[in-house]
Amino acid sequence: MSQAPMSRRQFLSARPATTDHRICPPGASMRSLAAACTGCGQCEERCPTQIIRLVDGLPSLDFMRGECTFCGECAASCPEPVFTVERIDRFAHVAVVGDTCLAKRGITCQSCGEACPQQAIRFRPRIGGPFVPELRTEICNGCGGCIAGCPVNAITLQPYGMEAADA
């Protein structure tokens, strides 16, 4: 994720810039949440995978609890004009498998591939070691299904298009 610009005061006091890494429910944006969300919690109650949590009174997705199925229950339950996009089937981010991945460190593990509902993670064989995960970004919809399944928290999210620069 990109880093927010730092003020002179933050720089001189050695305080990092505060950035909100909140992931909004599908169809909502930070702008629409800030403008219209009342924090009623109906989206949290209606989410079938229970990944919506209110953080500072606004809904945020917690992929450590599960995946987003893009069912639209959060938008259907919201009494306010928070959800500005009718129906989406992917987020603006994709998963990235980091260097702490067990398979990348020589330990057999395919948890993320087994948890991915899109089958966006496949495993490439390599000589002398376990299969290595490869993420197909054109298939990944950013649902977060692979995140909770990783035993070492090696999977993060990156804005779509940025994952190649960090790999």
Q: Which residues are annotated as a binding site?
A: 37, 40, 43, 47, 68, 71, 74, 78, 140, 143, 146, 150
What is the spatial distance between Cα 167 and Cα 164, in angstroms, rounded to a whole number?
5
Q: Name residue 152's beta-bridge partners.
A: none
Binding residues for [4Fe-4S] cluster: 37, 40, 43, 47, 68, 71, 74, 78, 140, 143, 146, 150
Four-point Cα dihedral 34, 37, 41, 43, nearest 10:
-100
What is the spatial distance between Cα 5 and Cα 108, in angstroms, rounded to a whole number?
41
Type of residue numbered 4: A
- Which helix (H) or strand (E) segment holds residue 8: the answer is helix 8-12
In the DSSP assignment, the letter for residue 161 is T
SS3 112: helix
In the DSSP assignment, the letter for residue 127 is T
What is the spatial distance between Cα 66 and Cα 74, in angstroms, rounded to a whole number?
15
